[in-house]
Amino acid sequence: DGGITQSPKYLFRKEGQNVTLSCEQNLNHDAMYWYRQDPGQGLRLIYYSQIVNDFQKGDIAEGYSVSREKKESFPLTVTSAQKNPTAFYLCASSTHGSPSGNTIYFGEGSWLTVV
């Protein structure tokens, strides 16, 4: 089936560690996104990529890094510089942006907890 796969579903990070969340899509979408969701708040954009080998910072990029070496893959690394990383992370993808809009598909999310 076509879709977006995020892994792992649950991840625990020790203080000072970097962790990487995987996001793979087989929808042939050009654009991919990473969002962070905290209780009682709307999703906030961390990074986005409109095309392979290109990505841009979102609203809360500090402490995170990404790569886009393949169209299908957009991994997110949560570095030790991110002081409050405990959250629910959502990966999404879409066809190229257009004025009329297009559906954005989300993965099932990854829970990251600092221990």
Partner 1 sequence: KNQVEQSPQSLIILEGKNCTLQCNYTVSPFSNLRWYKQDTGRGPVSLTIMTFSENTKSNGRYTATLDADTKQSSLHITASQLSDSASYICVVSFFSGGYNKLIFGAGTRLAVHP
Query: What residue ranges bind partner 1 (CB under 8 A)?
Result: 4, 6, 31, 35, 40-45, 48, 50, 88, 90, 92, 94, 96-109, 111
Of residues 6 and 82, the one with the C-beta less far from partner 1:
6
Of residues 17 and 102, the one with the C-beta less far from partner 1:
102
* Least distance CB 67 / partner 1 (angstroms): 19
* Least distance CB 16 / partner 1 (angstroms): 27
Neighbour tally for 115: CB within 10 Å: 8
Beta strand 54-57 with 44-51: parallel, antiparallel or unpaired? antiparallel
Of residues 85 and 107, the one with the C-beta less far from partner 1:
107
Of residues 17 and 108, the one with the C-beta less far from partner 1:
108
